[in-house]
Chain A
Amino acid sequence: MKKIILLTLLMGVSLYASGTIEGEIEKQPLNISAIVMFLLFVSGTLGITYWAAKRTKTAKDFYTAGGGITGLQNGMAIAGDYMSAASFLGISGLVYLAGYDGLIYSIGFLVGWPVILFLISERLRNLGKYTFADVAAYRLKQAPIRTLAAFGSIATVILYLIAQMVGAGKLIQLLFGLPYELAVVIVGALMILYVTFGGMLATTWVQIVKAILLLSGATFMALAVLSHFDFSLSAMFAKAIEVHPKGEAIMAPGGLVSDPVSAISLGIALMFGTAGLPHILMRFFTVADAKEARKSVFYATGFIGYFYILTFIIGFGAIIMVLNNPEYLDVAKQAISGGSPILGGKNMAAIHLSHAVGGNFFLGFISAVAFATILAVVSGLTLAGASAISHDLYANVFNKHGEVDEAKEIRVSKIATIALGIIAIILGIAFEKQNIAFVVGLAFAIAASANFPVLFLSMFWSKLTTRGAVIGGSLGLATAIMLVILGPIVWVQIFGNEEAIFPYKYPALFSVTVSFVGIWFFSITDKSDDAAREIEAFEAQDIRSQTGIGAEGASAH
């Protein structure tokens, strides 16, 4: 029995990770209030895009909004990138299903932020221009390092996009009653519009608007739940224990983290993975200086922490108001498997709760916000992917000789955006019926094992050489991909084998170690003249990274 609970829980987590809605989805009748509110959001954000387009002229404008975003705005946008539909619906769904375990997950996602602040954010701002590869390749050979970084970025972006697109399609089908393909095409088309015309400025403001909407909506829901119990947490928890089939178990750690290896590995994946996500790293270049970069992480930590506390209350609210409420019951599913499954699966708990506390109107609002969330996150991802293609590959790898025409680089970036948008639409449709639970895990593993070690050591370790970075980073990348394929999700759940060759769901502990050891070994054994020059150049780089002397000046606006 315990095993079954553990299994359900793990599956819950993986579903959470991809943000999907469970099972076959029945198309719902058109939800008019949701559609009207979503149209309002779209017209508002298209207005932002029009405004931003007029201000986006140079490459700096396009990639980093001219460096003129304030710390507070950027903090909101970073929080927005992090508060995806997957984490809003997924974590509240996890709390709904398992209670306390949802909180463990949230904390894992949050604690990486202060560490990023202490060790990485200001150095990144002082060294980089548009992409994190600027930092990694600062004193190393441009072509090989940027190729590796671009590969890591594009892989992360595309995997993430698949998860978001599939999640978007299913969610919209369920909430708005639109066909899956149409939903995916709408998301893809809007994202192309935002990014190609409005660049980083539009992407940032879309993210900020959505973050405000999401935080307000979630705050309202949490308050509505608490007000039912006269703001007594004890009364709320007592009621939840009474109605939940697991009873008191929901108040204690369950089976989410069962052995130390998984625990450490998950922690590493969440922490280092966050510090290796290209769309998050890119945000540090949108502010004027190190001071604003620090402030943005501080605000982001606050918003994200607050949001996780809200999702915890929302999850408990759903236990009380959604579970056992016949209105939200999936009768067809109940007939087959018993219990009291809710329509659309546990990830819909927050959506049903919005209906329970605020009726059709508020359901429409939250549905529209969930849609907006996906739009904002995919825009940021696409911009990061397009920058890797235009700024890293086109401008610095293929074009080795002489200056690159800026207008041409922007054009390449816009073409890359359109191409990524189309790829995202095609993959979104192709993966509709696939099990994509491994996708976000793989994206985090690649970010943690290929992007992060190279970036981190380039800033902190003087003896890093190009050879070490390329070989070690590639080994980390290969190990991460291989262990995910041999692990329980792909090898057992997708390929249908009896037992996983690699027993752990999170490969980060192993792949990150391989990467660091590889980089170390192939750096210290590198006795070439180039290596000597690269080591010598560390001093000047370190001074810039510590002080910002020579870094890009403040906003051009």
Chain B
Amino acid sequence: MTQDKVEQVKNNPKYQELVSKRNKFAWTLSIIMLVVYYTFIMIIAFKPAIFGAKIAGGVITLGIPVGVAIIFISFILAGIYVKRANGEFDTLTQQIKDELK
């Protein structure tokens, strides 16, 4: 890419919009995932009894639905990101590319 094209893209407000929106979104989702995971791990390290507690007097313990929920959360967060990135972000990217031509 030539230097003037770099300048052109850099100064395009749509590019700035894309970068700031996507960065914010991607880091927010990453932090949610990390907080969920490390909270889970820290409970296991420090207060494992919480997850060993039985639900409603049955045999199933709290840890099992929580664990399965984390698997679902991973999948859902991934889906949320892909939906917005493949829609909104890709549209913006396409517009930036078109304006460059």
Contacts and interface: CB of A to CB of B under 8 A. Distances in A.
A299 to B, nearest CB: 9
A258 B37 contact: no
Interface residues on A, range: 35 or more
Contacts of B41: 104, 108, 257, 263-264, 267
Given A294-B81, A297-B78, A309 B33 contact: no
Nearest to B63: A100
Majority secondary structure of chain B interface residues (helix, strand, loop or mixed): helix
B71 to A, nearest CB: 4
A110 B9 contact: no
Interface in A287-325: 290-291, 294-295, 297-298, 301-302, 305, 308-309
B63 A543 contact: no
Given A237-B60, A264-B38, A119 B1 contact: no
A4 interface: no
Interface string A466-506: 00000000000000000000000000000000000000000
A330 interface: no
Interface stretch (A82-90, A391-399, A449-457, A545-553): A545-553
A114 B44 contact: no
Given A257-B44, A309-B71, A117 B78 contact: yes
Contacts of B29: 114, 118
A327 B30 CA distance: 48
Given A100-B64, A111-B33, A547-B97, A238 B42 contact: no
Interface string A215-249: 00000000000000000011001100100000000
B60 A234 contact: yes
A333 interface: no
Contacts of B26: 118-119
A27 interface: no
Interface in B20-34: 22, 25-27, 29-30, 33-34
A108 B52 CA distance: 19
B72 A252 contact: no
B21 to A, nearest CB: 11
Contacts of B37: 107-108, 111, 267
- Residues of A contacting B: mostly: helix
A103 B61 CA distance: 13
A340 B61 CA distance: 26
A259 interface: yes
Interface in B51-101: 51-52, 54, 58-61, 63-64, 67-68, 70-72, 74-75, 77-79, 81-82, 85-86, 90, 93, 96-97, 100
A345 interface: no
Nearest to A546: B19
A113 B46 CA distance: 26
Given A118-B26, A258-B45, A291-B90, A253 B51 contact: yes
B56 to A, nearest CB: 10
B9 A543 contact: yes
Contacts of B33: 111, 114-115, 118
B52 A253 contact: yes
Given A111-B74, A118-B30, A252-B52, A260 B81 contact: no
A544 interface: yes
Nearest to B71: A305
Contact of B78 (A103, A301, A540): A301
Given A111-B74, A260-B45, A298 B6 contact: no
A546 B48 CA distance: 42
A287 to B, nearest CB: 13
A110 B1 contact: no
Contacts of A544: 1
Given A258-B45, A305-B75, A547-B97, A291 B86 contact: yes
A251 to B, nearest CB: 4
A301 B74 contact: yes
A108 B71 CA distance: 10
B9 A301 contact: no
Given A114-B29, A253-B51, A301-B75, A295 B70 contact: no
B71 A308 contact: yes
Given A253-B44, A294-B85, A309-B68, A234 B75 contact: no
Contacts of A241: 59
Contacts of B72: 305
B81 A114 contact: yes
A61 interface: no
What 3 pairs across the A-B complex have the smallest Cβ distances?
A: A252-B52, A253-B48, A118-B26
Interface of A: 100, 103-104, 106-108, 110-111, 113-115, 117-119, 122, 233-234, 237-238, 241, 251-253, 256-260, 263-264, 267, 290-291, 294-295, 297-298, 301-302, 305, 308-309, 539-540, 543-544, 546-550
Given A309-B68, A547-B15, 14 more contacts: A107-B40, A108-B37, A110-B74, A115-B30, A252-B61, A253-B63, A257-B44, A257-B45, A260-B46, A291-B86, A295-B82, A298-B75, A298-B82, A546-B15
